[in-house]
Structure 1
Amino acid sequence: MTAKAKTVTGDTAPDSINSAPTRLFSLDALRGFDMFWIMGGEEIFHTMAKATGSPFWGSIANQFTHPDWNGFHLYDLIFPLFLFMAGVSTPFSVGRELEKGKSRQQLVLRVIKRAFILVLLGLVVNNGLKIMPVSEIRFASVLGRIGIAYMFANIIYLYSSERMQMVWFWAFIIGYWLLLKFTSAPGYPHGDLTMQGNFASYMDRVILPGKLYLGIHDPEGLFSTIPAISTGLLGIITGTILKKTGLAQMKKVAILAITGVAFLIIAQVWNLDFPINKNLWTSSFVMQVGGLSLLLMAFFYYIIDVLGYQKWSFYFRVIGMNSILIYVSGHFIKWSYTNNGFFGWIGQLIGDPFNAVAMAITFVMVKWLFLYYLYQKKTFLRV
């Protein structure tokens, strides 16, 4: 799909600058690529590392874990990349409705409604549907953070110019850095960034009802959602660039790629004073995952929407078009039971130690076939 919304082959894609694209196939593919890893893709590498005992596979599998506190593994990218892509879609969804004549007030209500639904889904994912005391409920969640950060980023998009969106982006992460640098939990020195002493975790202990994921800290806490708004805003700014008319496609790719590299450099420098830390969603973490998200978006956009090579991405697009559904499905469907029912014989046939690898592969296959069936039926969970 080019900027004229026309399906092309890799040999014929024009570098159109005359009209805005109506849909980015690359966005669906990248979203599916992102979700692939948490629908079971990472387990393939974990089982391979265990089966072989190889340091090579072990080092790869280690990238599909989260560091205990400071540091960065590739697995840390999955959550912020999804939030980034929610932002990228904004100019193509909310922006299009604005162009059609819907009022900002109408769209703000729609955005708030979506955030509310995501927060509720997050509660269900965390706690199930059973009734329990408030003290036992975990209110913070991945979907809740996506909903809240998406909501504030979209409100800024609706009421701010492109320049002011960039100002807000920097204001949130610089303000957050300064706040954590000159504050702390009571009894700790200013700038303390330990789990016990940092100001963000302390505020969550004070503000959030119910329980925190780690008792004294929640990686999806309310206070650390502040810099996550910048992750959503970066996606919105990126989507605005990709939607722009009068801007050549290759120039869009260059802007995203160069900015991505610049962000990664800034992240490493900032890391010296404000460590890259997913748990606190530190400002250096925003720059790190922002840079990687921009590079991935540039790559997928270039291959799929500029060159027109779309067929290879179909596998990921099937996942990406039902990403929320597959994320919450594990709380309603016993995928391991289904996998064993259909493909348990494969594991028995192969035997130790690679039977676990085979079952990890078929586990992802079962989920994908379910999503493919829904894709064929044009059934998608929209929030």
Structure 2
Amino acid sequence: MTTKSLRTEPQKRLQSLDVLRGFDMFWITGGGYLTVVLSKLTGAEWLAGQMEHAEWAGFHFEDLIFPLFMFIAGVAIPFAIGSKLEKNVPAKKLVGKAFKRMLILIVLGILYNGTFKNGFADGRIASVLGQIGIGYFLASLITIYFPGIKSRIFWLAGILTGFGILQLLVPVPGFGAGVLTPEGCINGYIDRLFLPGRLHGGTFDPEGIMCSLSATGVTLMGTFAGSILRKRQTTDWQKIGYMAATGVGFIVLALLFSTFYPIIKKCWTSTFNMLAGGIGFLLMALFYLIIDHWKIRGWDFYFRVIGMNSIFVYLFVRIVDMQSVTEFFFGWLAKPLGDAGSLFLIICSLALIWLLLYYMYKKKIFLRV
């Protein structure tokens, strides 16, 4: 995963960022299924619906999880790159490192897709990890060569506007312009032309070429939050205020533009980017307020342990069938519980995953790309 697979935890970290990352990964590692089980036991079926992606247009809680991780990756960029630029580390070296990270994530994404298992003939190249890598690389590239916030605002405006023009005004053969359906959107057309292998959606891929490039906007939004948090001369309340105001602004813009430009995650419309990024700003502000400003801690340790090994646990729950493992050891306890047995098993599964991550945390084993 990296040339240095074992790293010691830095002495000073933005704890709220690790906790927010862990909070985000919690839903992937079993938190979503836990919510579904609870909703069925309590009769709150609407809650289970939030744990599924919107079929096409619209926005569910599940649609936030992936872009939030991309936003968080962006928040880390000014901390990772800014300090090195201040130490006169050559820009080419930083670009090379970000490029290497992108390549590793693309390969890990292909592994995650099961391509090595099913064969390359029907393998899926596009992936969540690959999209994270592409977004991180492009946002890093912009931050390295355009470190000023004003310059990056122009880049973000260009990305959001440019993809809006492509999706709304550029005609797709056989469909015309602005047909935002799985078959008619320009994202799917470009994927069918240029993306090798199997497409996740058949006629399009939600992590395809244009989706990955468009999603760079969310990562770039994260760099603004990172720059705000890194500013030493700014007070905590100013940082929180700037992030909260920016978040609200993006959400309002997304809802206004959605009247003619739908919010669609599966083709990463600019309105979706603005909505997801806006929520990312609000969550970052909230977690920073509670953890780093008010220093209300203790509860956050569970999520921080997950956040410190996020890529590892993402791959782990894909490769290891935790449901079978949990049933193997605890099925005899779950069976007498009837309907509550599913709840018991998912809690056990979450506990086993967390204990593994806690062991790695205590041993200072942080596997990152």
Q: TM (normalized to structure 1)?
A: 0.91
**Paired position in structure 1 for 2:86:** 99
Which of residues 133, 141, 144 in structure 2 aligns to 1:158?
144
Query: How far 1:131 moved relative to its partner?
Result: 6.8
Which of residues 253, 264, 274 in structure 1 aligns to 2:251?
264
Cα distance in 1 between the residues matched to 2:16 and 2:302 = 12
Asked if the contact 1:32–1:318 (Cα under 8 Å) also holds between the matched residues in 2, the reply is yes
**Paired position in structure 1 for 2:47:** 60
Cα distance in 2 between the residues matched to 1:256 and 1:131 = 44
Query: How far 1:81 moved relative to its partner?
Result: 0.4
**Paired position in structure 2 for 1:142:** 128
Instruction: Render the CA deviation track for 1:182-230: whole Å, top value 9, x for unaligned.
Output: 1232111211111111111101110101110121011111112222111
Query: How far 1:22 moved relative to its partner?
Result: 4.7
Instruction: Render the CA deviation track for 1:285-309: whole Å, top value 9, x for unaligned.
Output: 0111111101100000011111112
Which of residues 227, 244, 247 in structure 2 aligns to 1:240?
227
Q: Secondary structure at the match of 1:129?
A: helix
Query: How far 1:348 moved relative to its partner?
Result: 1.9
**Paired position in structure 1 for 2:345:** 359
**Paired position in structure 2 for 1:14:** none
Query: How far 1:359 moved relative to its partner?
Result: 1.0
Q: Does 1:111 align with 2:98?
A: yes
Letter in 1 for 2:169: F
Asked if the contact 1:227–1:281 (Cα under 8 Å) also holds between the matched residues in 2, the reply is yes
Which of residues 304, 309, 316 in structure 1 aligns to 2:291?
304
**Paired position in structure 2 for 1:181:** 168
**Paired position in structure 2 for 1:170:** 157
Cα distance in 1 between the residues matched to 2:364 and 2:329 = 25
Cα distance in 1 between the residues matched to 2:32 and 2:118 = 32
Which of residues 181, 187, 195 in structure 2 aligns to 1:200?
187
**Paired position in structure 2 for 1:279:** 266
Cα distance in 2 between the residues matched to 1:246 and 1:46 = 45
Asked if the contact 1:126–1:138 (Cα under 8 Å) also holds between the matched residues in 2, the reply is yes
Cα distance in 1 between the residues matched to 2:16 and 2:142 = 25
Letter in 1 for 2:24: D
CA RMSD of aligned residues (A): 1.4
Cα distance in 2 between the residues matched to 1:223 and 1:43 = 30
Q: Which moved more, 1:248-257 or 1:332-341?
A: 332-341
Asked if the contact 2:134–2:213 (Cα under 8 Å) also holds between the matched residues in 1, the reply is no
Asked if the contact 1:22–1:92 (Cα under 8 Å) also holds between the matched residues in 2, the reply is no
Cα distance in 1 between the residues matched to 2:105 and 2:164 = 27
**Paired position in structure 1 for 2:8:** none
Query: How far 1:310 moved relative to its partner?
Result: 2.3
Query: How far 1:159 moved relative to its partner?
Result: 0.1
Where in structure 2 are there 5+ consecutive unaligned residues? 1-10
Instruction: Render the CA deviation track for 1:16-73: whole Å, top value 9, x for unaligned.
Output: xxxxx95210000000000000100111121223344x1xx21111111101100000
Cα distance in 2 between the residues matched to 1:133 and 1:337 = 27
**Paired position in structure 1 for 2:26:** 36
Asked if the contact 1:149–1:229 (Cα under 8 Å) also holds between the matched residues in 2, the reply is yes
Q: Does 1:214 align with 2:201?
A: yes
Distance 1:81 1:347, change over 3 A: same
Asked if the contact 2:64–2:276 (Cα under 8 Å) also holds between the matched residues in 1, the reply is yes
Cα distance in 1 between the residues matched to 2:165 and 2:105 = 30
Letter in 2 for 1:25: Q
Letter in 2 for 1:153: A
Letter in 1 for 2:21: R
Q: Which moved more, 1:144-153 or 1:328-337?
A: 328-337
Query: How far 1:349 moved relative to its partner?
Result: 3.3
Q: Secondary structure at the match of 1:330?
A: helix
Asked if the contact 1:185–1:196 (Cα under 8 Å) also holds between the matched residues in 2, the reply is no
Asked if the contact 1:184–1:197 (Cα under 8 Å) also holds between the matched residues in 2, the reply is no
Q: Secondary structure at the match of 2:117?
A: coil
Letter in 1 for 2:245: I
Query: How far 1:261 moved relative to its partner?
Result: 1.1
Cα distance in 1 between the residues matched to 2:253 and 2:119 = 45
Instruction: Render the CA deviation track for 1:297-349: whole Å, top value 9, x for unaligned.
Output: 00000111111122210000000000000000124323123212332233123
Cα distance in 2 between the residues matched to 1:103 and 1:345 = 59
Query: How far 1:101 moved relative to its partner?
Result: 2.6
Q: Secondary structure at the match of 1:354?
A: helix
Moved over 4 A (4+): none
Query: How far 1:99 moved relative to its partner?
Result: 2.0
Letter in 1 for 2:142: I
Letter in 2 for 1:32: G
Q: Percent identity?
A: 42
Which of residues 344, 367, 372 in structure 1 aligns to 2:358?
372
**Paired position in structure 2 for 1:11:** none
Query: How far 1:237 moved relative to its partner?
Result: 1.1
Q: Secondary structure at the match of 1:280?
A: coil
Asked if the contact 2:14–2:292 (Cα under 8 Å) also holds between the matched residues in 1, the reply is yes
Q: Secondary structure at the match of 1:316?
A: helix
**Paired position in structure 2 for 1:334:** 321
**Paired position in structure 1 for 2:336:** 349
Q: Secondary structure at the match of 2:300?
A: helix
